[in-house]
């Protein structure tokens, strides 16, 4: 498959895709669109930035275009679930873009903003509903939306949905759907919990998998900078003195940490803002828009808030703090390797993060290049030996031995 015209999509959709400057489908699009056009259920394993939104949006719109008609009152014909407000908004934006020459109407609903406009939109009738689980359940309970007419159900970023504790909500929503539907599930990773969910939702699915973890990581030039914890903010300021870092996404573990880094950069003359769950929805959307349009050079984000950040032209990712799990690391650095592009990831590592770094390097099956040429490099951190982890049984036995030793060493008659 060499171009979109060969995918048998409706002409109005092809025209919209061409307007966006796309001519050749990405691997996930080329592999997923044909079976979806045939009506098959699909299990897709793909990282952010591989073009997966178009992979499910284009066949969905093609299906609806053949029998669109007027939208039904409070009864959408397609439902797309996303874990975060930002991702839901971007999916809705993509749908509007690809359906500009069709008579298909979509809307998006999520928490953190007034529910009244969302109720009005559903009452007017929409063909496609994009939603986060919590707000959708609220609307269902209040009788403002029914899901019995849904023909296509898409669950995007299922692994993050489960990480955020939405598994119960997802199952409640799925139970309200017609059994006669097409179901599409996308996930960047496929742990047992996601596979179990897929098994319960999908019927004889086609499995499409592209850009496995190691491949995605290998597209990015990855470097590590060993630095004391109290010098990290100073180091990020030093790095951004380099104008070659044109558009950078900086990851922190906490919301407070994101605010502090953004403030530090702003005081140093760098156009930077933070985005996280404590920010009002309109503020988050404005910040993301400013970053996408180039008015911000640096965006500081927590992992959960970052899931909807799908921005072209990110030249660098900086891990201000290493994540606790390697999958999050791969998600982070994938923000600068979109659709096969290259990028640079810089990771700060202090004494406490040496073990996390080792796990990450084992997962991606490569060593990160050490950068010593910076003012805060500490060789002791780089050379710090990492103690081998004991398994839980060893820890229990050692703990019991310590308790026994303490018990036998106490003078007779003394309380513990």
Q: Do 303 and 323 form a contact (C-beta atoms < 8 A)?
A: yes
Residue by residue, pLDDT tens for the chain (416 residues) are 568 988 989 999 999 999 888 888 989 999 999 999 999 999 999 876 678 999 999 999 999 998 767 888 999 999 999 998 888 998 999 999 999 999 899 999 999 889 999 999 999 999 999 999 999 999 999 999 999 999 999 999 998 888 788 999 999 999 999 999 999 999 988 888 899 999 999 999 999 988 554 455 567 899 999 999 999 999 999 999 998 899 999 999 999 999 999 999 999 999 999 998 788 777 888 898 899 899 999 999 987 666 667 787 888 999 999 987 777 888 788 888 665 667 899 999 999 999 899 988 888 888 999 999 999 999 888 887 654 444 444 344 444 444 444 443 333 333 33
pTM score: 0.64
Report the alpha-carbon distance of residue 30 to residue 130 in Å, rounded. 23
Domain 4-211 has CATH 3.40.50.720: no
Report the alpha-carbon distance of residue 169 to residue 158 in Å, rounded. 12
Tell me whether domains 4-211 and 214-382 share a fold: yes
Which residues have CB under 8 Å from 272's CB, separation 6+? 250, 261, 262, 265, 266, 296, 297, 298, 299, 300
Task: Please report the pLDDT score of residue 229 as a whole number.
Answer: 95
Task: Please report the pLDDT score of residue 385 as a whole number.
Answer: 63
Report the alpha-carbon distance of residue 171 to residue 397 in Å, rounded. 41
Report the alpha-carbon distance of residue 317 to residue 192 in Å, rounded. 29
Task: Please report the pLDDT score of residue 267 as a whole number.
Answer: 95
Which residues have CB under 8 Å from 332's CB, separation 6+? 249, 251, 303, 306, 317, 319, 323, 345
Structure tokens at 157: 């970023």
What are the CA-CA distances from residue 185 to residues 82, 88, 136 (Å)?
Answer: 11, 15, 18
Q: Do 276 and 53 form a contact (C-beta atoms < 8 A)?
A: no
3-state SS, the chain, equals CCCHHHHCCCHHHHHHHHHCCCCCCCHHHHHHHHHHHCCCCEEEECCCCCCHHHHHHHHHHHHHHCCCCCCECCECCEEEECCCHHHHHHHHHHHHHHCCCCCCCEEEECCCCCCHHHHHHHHHCCCEEEECHHHHHHHHHCCCCCCCCCCEEEECCHHHHHHCCCHHHHHHHHHCCCCCCEEEEEECCCCHHHHHHHHHHCCCCEEEECCCHHHHHHCEEEEEEECCHHHHHHHHHHHCCCCCCCCEEEECCCHHHHHHHHHHHHHCCCCEEEECCCCCHHHHHHHHHHHHCCCCCEEEECHHHHCCCCCCCCCEEEECCCCCCHHHHHHHHHHHCHHHCCEEEEEEECHHHHHHHHHHHHHHCCCCEECCCCCCCCHHHHCCCCCCCCCHHHHHHHHHHHHHHHHHHCCCCCCC
Q: What is the pLDDT of residues 168-206, one digit of tens each?
A: 999 999 999 999 999 999 998 888 889 999 999 999 999
Q: Do 279 and 251 form a contact (C-beta atoms < 8 A)?
A: no
First-last CA distance in the chain: 74
Torsion of CA 100, 158, 345, 261, to 10 degrees: 90
- Nearest C-alpha neighbor of 366 from the set 394, 345, 392, 387: 345
Task: Please report the pLDDT score of residue 211 as a whole number.
Answer: 56
Task: Please report the pLDDT score of residue 386 as a whole number.
Answer: 55
- Nearest C-alpha neighbor of 16 from the set 54, 72, 63, 46: 54
**In the sheet where 369-370 sits, what is the strand order?**
272-275, 298-301, 248-251, 316-319, 343-349, 220-226, 369-370
Task: Please report the pLDDT score of residue 339 as a whole number.
Answer: 57
User: Which class does domain 214-382 fall in?
Assistant: alpha beta
Structure tokens at 90: 């971007």
- Where are the chain's structural domains? 4-211, 214-382
Which residues have CB under 8 Å from 207's CB, separation 6+? 42, 43, 44, 45
Residues in the chain: 416
Bridge partner residues of 300 (DSSP): 250, 274
């Amino acid at each position: 498959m060499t171009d979109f015209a060969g995918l048998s999509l409706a002409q109005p959709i092809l025209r919209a895709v061409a307007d966006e400057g796309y001519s050749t489908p990405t691997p996930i699009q080329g592999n997923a669109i044909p079976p979806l056009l045939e009506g098959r259920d699909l299990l897709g394993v793909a990282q952010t930035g591989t073009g997966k939104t178009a992979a499910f949006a284009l066949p969905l719109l093609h299906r609806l275009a053949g029998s669109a008609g007027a939208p039904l009152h409070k009864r959408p014909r397609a439902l797309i679930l996303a874990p975060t407000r930002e991702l839901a908004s971007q999916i809705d934006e993509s749908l509007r873009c690809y359906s500009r020459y069709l008579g298909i109407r979509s809307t998006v609903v999520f928490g953190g903003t007034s529910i009244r406009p969302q109720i009005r939109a559903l009452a007017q009738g929409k063909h496609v509903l994009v939603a986060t689980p919590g707000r959708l359940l609220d609307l269902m309970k209040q009788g403002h939306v029914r899901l019995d007419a849904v023909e296509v159900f898409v669950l995007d970023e299922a692994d993050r949905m489960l990480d955020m504790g939405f598994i119960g909500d997802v199952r409640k929503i799925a139970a309200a759907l017609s059994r006669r539907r097409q179901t599409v599930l996308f996930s960047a990773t496929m742990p047992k919990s996601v596979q179990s969910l897929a098994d319960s939702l999908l019927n004889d699915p086609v499995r499409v998998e592209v850009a496995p973890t190691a491949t995605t990581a290998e597209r990015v030039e990855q470097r590590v900078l060993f630095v004391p914890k109290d010098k990290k903010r100073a180091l990020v300021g030093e790095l951004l003195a380099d104008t070659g870092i044109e558009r950078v996404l900086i990851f922190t573990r906490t919301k407070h940490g994101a605010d502090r880094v953004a403030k530090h950069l702003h005081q140093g003359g760098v156009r930077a803002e933070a985005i996280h769950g404590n920010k009002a929805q309109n503020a988050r959307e404005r910040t993301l828009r400013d970053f996408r349009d180039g008015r911000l050079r640096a965006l500081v984000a927590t992992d959960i808030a970052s899931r909807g950040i799908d921005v072209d032209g990110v030249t660098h990712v900086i891990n201000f703090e290493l994540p606790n799990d390697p999958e999050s690391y791969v998600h982070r650095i994938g923000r600068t390797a979109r659709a096969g592009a290259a990028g640079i990831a810089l990771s700060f590592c202090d004494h406490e993060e040496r073990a996390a770094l080792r796990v990450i390097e084992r997962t991606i099956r490569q060593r990160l290049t050490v950068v010593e040429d910076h003012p805060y490099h500490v060789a002791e951190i780089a050379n710090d030996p990492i103690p081998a982890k004991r398994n839980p049984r060893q820890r229990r036995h050692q703990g019991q031995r310590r308790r026994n030793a303490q018990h036998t060493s106490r003078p007779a008659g003394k309380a513990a």
